[in-house]
Amino acid sequence: PWDTQCFTYDVMGELVNAWTSKITPVDGQGCKAANGTTWGPRKDYAPSSGPVADAPDTSTDVTAPDSSLRSTLAATAPDPQTVSTGATAYRQSFTFDWLGNRAVMTEHDPADAAKNVTFRYGYGNAVAKQPHTLGSVTSNPPGQGSSYSYDAVGNTKTRDLAATTQSLVWTQENKPATITDDGKKTTYVYDATGNRLLENSPSGSTLYLGETEVTTDATGAIVRASRAYAHPGAPTVVRTTSNGATTGHKRNVLLADHLGTANTTIDVTNTSQPITRRAFKPYGEIRGPKPAAWPNKRSYLGVG
């Protein structure tokens, strides 16, 4: 089945709407906005895009947007009758302040608007000398908000999230040295050029040697090894083996989207060549069921 994603933007290039469409993508169609504009892939490769919203031009546009901003934002929203539903369907809308900081994000439930969640972003409230750092996020309905603090150079020190609390310590090169997640500390070691060499967590460790990763359990026993083979213009192949495996190496071909995110893997070791897919929202959140297994630890914007 098709997985058609649609996007509309404001005049500053900020993403204001993203959704999955149930319109079959044919020549110049596939997406439809609330003002009736349709667009989509074309056989002749000519440009095809949706309507464009105005951008905030005063500080008051966040809390009291003018009529032009309101009307153009409404016009760039999806036609509600064309938004798809299902396991990987989604719809998100965004507004920004006049400096380009995200002001509001609404996570729309494609099947039930009563389940929508709106997030509002607050900046610089607790750090007078860092006016543009994200200080807090509030949610409506409540219960999904978060708060953040930073060190003197702007690195995140704490993330108090809805489901967990994280604290971060950074190296002099501004790379994560430790991340403590609800009391569970993970440490990182880097080589002389700043590449991550070792990751140690309570559940085990991972050694990074270029394209090769070696993973151990908490006792130090090797449980998995993988190596990625990448070539320009070709899919990445990941070869993995598990400690004690009786079937030898497993080989997976990773297919990536235009941004470099691997969203499809094919197990070519298996004669039936089963296919596993995963999907992401525009800013990296997983959408739909998370695959039970993936050939490597790379996620959004990561292949091999």
pLDDT band of 245, cuts 50, 70, 90: low
- The per-residue pLDDT for range 169-221, each reduced to its tens digit, is 999 999 999 999 999 999 999 999 999 999 999 999 999 999 999 999 999 99
Q: State CA 168 to chain mean position distance.
A: 20
Q: What are phi and psi of 68, to 5 degrees?
A: -65, -45
> What is the amino acid identity at position 162?
A
Is the model's pLDDT at 303 over the cut of 70?
no
- The per-residue pLDDT for range 95-115, each reduced to its tens digit, is 998 888 999 999 999 989 999
Preceding omega of 47 cis (within 30 degrees of 0) = no
Is 165 within the bounds of a domain? no
111 and 207 within one domain: no
Domain closes at, from 115, 141, 162:
115
Number of domains in the chain: 2
What is the reported pTM? Answer: 0.89
- The per-residue pLDDT for range 41-88, each reduced to its tens digit, is 888 888 889 999 999 888 777 777 888 899 999 999 999 999 999 899
Domain closes at, from 115, 131, 153:
115
Is 188 within the bounds of a domain? no
Is 219 within the bounds of a domain? yes
Domain of residue 289: give its range. Answer: 203-302
Q: Are 135 and 124 in contact (CB under 8 A)?
A: yes
Q: State how far the Cα of 285 lies from the Cα of 5, in Å rounded to an integer.
A: 15
Beta carbons within 8 Å of 284's beta carbon, 6+ residues apart: 299, 300, 301
**Three-class SS state of 252:** strand
